[in-house]
Structure 1
Amino acid sequence: MENNLNLFKTKQWVQIALINFCVVALAGVTMRYKINFSLPEINQQNLMHGHSHFAFVGWIAMALMILMVRYLIRNNLPTNYKKYNWILTAELLVSYAMFVSFIIEGYAFWSILFSTATIFISYFFIFFYWRDLNKIRNTGFSILWLKATLVLWAFSSLGAFMLAYLMAHHIMIQDLYFSAVYFFMHFQYNGWFLFACFGIFFSYMHRLGVDHISSLSKWLFIIMAVTVVPTYFLSILWLRLPLALVWIADISGVLQLFVLYYFIKILFLVQRSKNIQFSWSTKWLWRLSSISFFLKITLQMLSTIPYLSHYAFGFRPIVIGYLHLSFVGIISLFILGYINEFIHRFRGHVSGVGAIIFVIGFIVQEVVLMLQGLEAMNVQPIKSANIILFYCAVLMAGGLIWITTGIMRTQQHEEELSLTTVK
């Protein structure tokens, strides 16, 4: 069984995922450069599509898949891990083909083909992973988080298929287009991305013996599971929705208060637990991720106010800032913190300097984007906002490259392949 477990080399896959994150960041730098300087060789719209799709598939989805497979390894599951290597290899190749095709042609035959292929690859992962999850016993409540992750992941693909259909048939109905986009994105970043992070986190807490938060994690799961579908309507309040759906959206938004209550209570108990000794880097990465989650839920609740909802979805800088708050602030910082815990046992670590540079760029970017959005409320505009955002993108890319090259220089240890060293 040990040799079978060793067929999946987590560290190598983590390095690949981080390289992909660097590619995402460099694409962001290129887009910000083009806004400020001449770069006629690049189509901005095409690059934006490639950047966003590759961020979803090449970075976040791949990183979470890797950590989810590691969950099976930690639980000593005797299964054929070759299938996950093949799935991730296919995901890697197709995601790069999708990225390049979007840059060259935008939404057209090849980009739609490759983006659709990533969805079918995810179906293979969902099928095999669900089957392997059913073989695991006595792992705490985290297994239900991970099963919900798979359901929401599959459900989110309905939005992607609708979007692909609209683009392929040149159906330019704006309401349908944005409804499909927000459906896909909502069930990605409010759905399977978040549920996967919580599942990975609670499984780690269970392994460390922090079981006194299990009842709180159940309540957090119930509220998030109940509200994940109706909160989608908060994203499309600009449509003329039936009054019943508006009320459902508003009530689900208010229920997010309970999400914050249980989330804060869990953080408080984890911080007081004597069984946990996180490294310094992990602590502040996860604290920043927690702050981002708190801000996101708060903004989601405020979007139930019609006046604020108009500004939330009507101004591009606010939308971009909110999405980056979710993808970078919550998901990516959590993943980086967990990666730091994973490689810490093997004399490696996420570079503190690189992480600080990355976080500074991210925080300044968020502030500038939100202030840009406030210009619609007659707030004094920021001078040279676009050039500041360009330098923020450079900082984020530089920090990520620093982190990635530092991890890749970490000496390989044979003990990484031993089950006894796995956390």
Structure 2
Amino acid sequence: MVNLKRHTNIAFGYFLLIGLLGILLRLFFVTPIAANYRWVVHTHSHIALLGWVYIGLTTLIYKLYFTEANKGTLYRRIFWFSNITIMGMLVTFPFQGYALFSIIFSSLFLVSSYFFAWFVLKHTPVVYRGTYSFKCIKAALWYMIFSSIGPWALGAIMVTLGKTSMWYKMAIYYYLHFQYNAWFILVLLGVLFFLLDKAELTPEKKDFRNFFLLINSGIILTFFLSVLWVEPHAVYYILAAAGAVLQVLAFYKLYLMLKKVWQKFKISSSAFVGFLLKICGVLIAVKILMQLLTAVPYFADLSFLYTDFVIGYLHWVFLGMVSIALFAFFHHFRLMKLPKPVFSLYFTGFVLSEALIFYKGTSMWLGLPFFSEYFPLLVLVSSLILVSVGILLIKNIRS
């Protein structure tokens, strides 16, 4: 039997590491650090996406479909292969950045993710294949595969055009778009529909079909938001705006579906899980609003000129929407226990750090006063996230 609680603790271990790396990055602006800032950024981002989130999502997928499927041996091999590649990135990126060994481990991780996608698509029991949950997760896996075109292209771009080429950034934005807006979100939605199905609250077929069409159309078209910084032809602005509107319609449709069954769902799950998912709903709404704004040329240029807005957006999705949804689902499946005071500490750190990041971007944009204690304060509030994750990990290991 696969010990999924141990796998959850491993994911939290990665979360703790990225918290430490995040504090280190912010200390660069407070005191001299004997390290390469850019290389630490690479480590931080890779372990965040491929350690905490990837391991967390794949653990949930196994929990949904394979607990009784007798596929533990094969899954464990893929799981540990993935972790070896992640650890390889952890010990190479800080000391060489993008170079031979870090690229080898990054490439091997992509191969391991293909094995995982194959595992799920091939071995998911027939009883789940027609569910709304599996439709979302199947689409998520394909988007994960599509997103990997970006990293594969980086090598060729670096050799032929160099890091200063716009195509270098395009490849990174392509990867991040289909990770953040497709792979992450659709897996989490798949888990949500699984819980609705188990509670016998499955939405109407027509409602789900419309939602699924809207969200996938929106995912594809909102990629064009990532190209507006090069000021392309007007047609790209139209496509990007259409994608942003489709995302609004998709999540409004989801809201209407959930509104019909929410009270019964809270009873079948728990009031605390329902509360966490409500927070995620608010965070998604703000995320969609930000995407909608960046379809406007003025705000598209703004997000390119002031990178704090981009960093704030990425953290909003990663530390907010995705991480809190993972907390909720891990808690629901009893893969971890989430004490309310610890979550309050985490959420306080998240809100305050986001406020500071967006304040910095706004102050540069509007010429507002910028206080000298900004960076020490950012380190302090970010430490709340680190401490809360550390407490969660220790509590779950002990239990």
Q: TM-score range by the shorter chain?
A: over 0.9
1:241-276 residue CA offsets vs partner (Å, 9 max, x unmatched)? 233333211211222220231132234234222673
Give the counterpart of 1:156 among 128, 147, 156.
147
Partner of 1:165: 156
Distance 1:159 1:355 in 2: 35
Q: How far does residue 229 in structure 1 lie from its aligned partner after superposition? A: 1.4
Q: Residues 25-174 of structure 1 correspond to what in structure 2 (within 5 A)?
A: 25-39=19-33, 41-73=34-66, 76=68, 78-133=69-124, 135-137=126-128, 140-167=131-158, 171-174=162-165
Q: RMSD between aligned alpha carbons? A: 1.9
SS across alignment from 1:273: helix
Quickly say closer, same or farther: Cα 1:44–1:205, change in 2 above 3 A. same
Are 1:404 and 2:393 counterparts? yes
Q: State TM-score, norm by structure 2.
A: 0.94
Matched residue type, 2:391: W
Quickly say closer, same or farther: Cα 1:215–1:353, change in 2 above 3 A. farther
Are 1:386 and 2:375 counterparts? yes
Give the counterpart of 2:314 among 323, 341, 345.
323
Contact 1:183–1:232 at 8 Å: present in 2 too? yes
1:345-389 residue CA offsets vs partner (Å, 9 max, x unmatched)? xxx621222211111111111111111111233252342222221
Which moves more between the two structures, 8-17 or 215-224?
A: 215-224
Contact 1:10–1:70 at 8 Å: present in 2 too? yes
Give the counterpart of 1:24 among 18, 27, 32.
18
Q: How far does residue 168 in structure 1 lie from its aligned partner after superposition? A: 5.4
Q: State TM-score, norm by structure 1.
A: 0.89
Partner of 1:372: 360
Are 1:343 and 2:370 counterparts? no
Partner of 1:414: none
Which moves more between the two structures, 165-174 or 300-309?
A: 165-174
SS across alignment from 2:98: coil
Partner of 2:9: 15
| Structure 1 unpaired stretches of 5+ | 1-5, 411-423
Matched residue type, 1:30: L
Contact 2:129–2:135 at 8 Å: present in 1 too? no
Contact 2:193–2:202 at 8 Å: present in 1 too? no
Contact 2:199–2:265 at 8 Å: present in 1 too? no
Partner of 2:290: 299
Identity of aligned residues (%): 25
Quickly say closer, same or farther: Cα 1:408–1:139, change in 2 above 3 A. farther
Q: Residues 185-334 of structure 1 correspond to what in structure 2 (within 5 A)?
A: 185-212=176-203, 215-273=206-264, 276-334=267-325
Quickly say closer, same or farther: Cα 1:175–1:79, change in 2 above 3 A. same
Partner of 1:419: none
Contact 2:217–2:246 at 8 Å: present in 1 too? no
Contact 2:348–2:384 at 8 Å: present in 1 too? yes
SS across alignment from 1:326: helix
1:298-341 residue CA offsets vs partner (Å, 9 max, x unmatched)? 11011111111111232111110000111111111100111111
Corresponding residue pairs, total: 398
Contact 1:372–1:382 at 8 Å: present in 2 too? yes
Contact 1:108–1:168 at 8 Å: present in 2 too? no
Contact 2:350–2:385 at 8 Å: present in 1 too? yes
1:41-85 residue CA offsets vs partner (Å, 9 max, x unmatched)? 2211100100001111111011101110111135x4x34221111
SS across alignment from 1:229: helix
Distance 2:123 2:71 in 1: 10
Distance 1:67 1:34 in 2: 36
Distance 1:287 1:401 in 2: 25
Distance 2:76 2:134 in 1: 22
Partner of 1:415: none
Contact 2:4–2:63 at 8 Å: present in 1 too? yes
